[in-house]
Amino acid sequence: MAKTNAVAVVVNPLREAGAQARASLTVLLRSVERVQMPDAPLRPCREPGCPALVSGGSRCEAHARRYDQRRGSAASRGYDARWAAHRAGYFDKLIALDILPACGARLPGAPLTTDSQCQADGRLITDRLERDHIKPHRGDAACFWDPLNLQLLCRSCHSAKTMREQQRAGSV
């Protein structure tokens, strides 16, 4: 029995020391300010002549603000309550025609596109779908509301398509 007590006496201080060390380390880690490494190197602002370097977006704060003001709000570009109500009707039309509302879906007669990477890869994405104008409407109401100019894209495919369009137009 003497051996068991001796071992217990030695093990318990080690356990206590380990617990104290863990507690000290936890306190230390919580008090240290975490420095986040940048994901990408800094690049110049896309606005010609601007010397600012940016990490996340494509424009410095001042030019990003001006770009957003020129672009206008979603409502001023036509994406209002009527557009929100239009969503249910568009989904109903697809379902009535036995077309599953999924990334890449569009009404019969709409132009074929390669905008849905999900469809190209054979993936069936049915959540978080966004209606996309196949041909940018540029403020033309007839083009904006034309159901044959719409397709469903998942958020990822829609973002990729929008980025390609903006790069082509030189607005990014």
How does pLDDT run along the chain (172 residues), one tens digit per residue?
A: 444 444 444 444 545 556 666 666 666 656 555 555 556 788 888 888 899 988 866 888 888 888 777 776 766 766 778 877 888 888 899 999 999 999 999 999 999 999 999 999 999 999 889 999 999 888 888 998 899 999 999 999 999 998 888 888 765 5
DSSP code for 35: P
DSSP code for 112: P
Report the sign of the C-alpha dihedral through residues 93, 94, 98, 101, in that order: negative
User: Do 128 and 154 form a contact (C-beta atoms < 8 A)?
Assistant: yes
User: How far is 100 from 94, CA to CA, in rounded Å?
Assistant: 7
What's the pTM value of the predicted model, to 2 decimals?
0.56
Domain boundaries, the chain: 38-72, 100-172
CB count within 10 Å of CB 123 equals 13
Structure-block tokens of residue 43: 């690049």
CA atoms within 13 A on the CB side of 104: 14
What do you get for the CA distance between the two ends of the chain, in Å? Answer: 78
Residue in the block written with tokens 């919580």: 30
Structure-block tokens of residue 163: 């980025």
